[in-house]
Amino acid sequence: MSDSKIIRLNREQAMEPDAMLVIFFLFSFVGWLWEGVFVGVRYGMFINRGFLHGPWLPIYGAAGLLMILLLGDWKHRPAVVYVGSVLLCAIVEYVTGFFLETFYHQKWWDYSNFPLNLQGRICPQDTMFFGVFGMLAVYYIAPWLLDRMRRQSRLRILVCMILTIAFTMDVMLSLASPNMGLGITY
């Protein structure tokens, strides 16, 4: 593995671009499951949440990957990892909400009923939860995943190619016709 293909997470770990894609897709899928069940409980059925039609919420993948990449060097300072996770998630969620509302004139989530919300796009209760998720991602999930993925490089590359093609097709479809409806948009 050449050094030009490695992205340093911190002093101990390095991550290849395809490993970053696996983490992005895994977190996006877990976020999709989480929201589908969480919101679905209210409606008595699983809800395919999010802007895209496929089984992923890239806001979770992007935020998770950013936390791992930017906060890995701060493992010795748990408070920094927690606060950094909260801030990163708040920024990603706010900017994504702003973008969707600006270009599609539709909300995919609305925290207006929560205290201290910021234009209904973020709220402290939600971002504090993501701080906990960030700590789990940085301290446990990423190291465990990276260790497992090092043993599966050929399979990892094939999976990344398939997922990237499917994801790209979903993004192109969703830009023209976003996923909307009961339990999805507000």
What is the spatial distance between Cα 89 and Cα 157, in angstroms, rounded to a whole number?
Answer: 28
- Which of 118, 11, 135, 31 is closest to 83 using CA atoms? 135
Other beta carbons within 10 Å of 119: 12
Residue of 112, 9, 111, 108 whose CA lies nearest to 59: 108
Q: Does residue 98 surpass a pLDDT of 90?
A: yes
Q: What's the confidence (pLDDT) of residue 66?
A: 94
Q: Against a cut of 0.85, is the pTM above it?
A: yes
Lowest mean pLDDT: which of 13-17, 59-63, 142-146?
13-17
Tens-place pLDDT, residues 116-173: 999 999 999 999 999 999 999 999 999 898 888 877 777 888 889 999 999 999 999 9
**Residue 130: CA atoms inside 13 Å, Cβ hemisphere, count?**
28
Q: What is the C-alpha separation between 132 and 127, in angstroms, rounded?
A: 9
Q: What whole-number distance in Å separates Cα of residue 180 and Cα of residue 155? A: 34
- Residue 110 tokens read as 């609305």
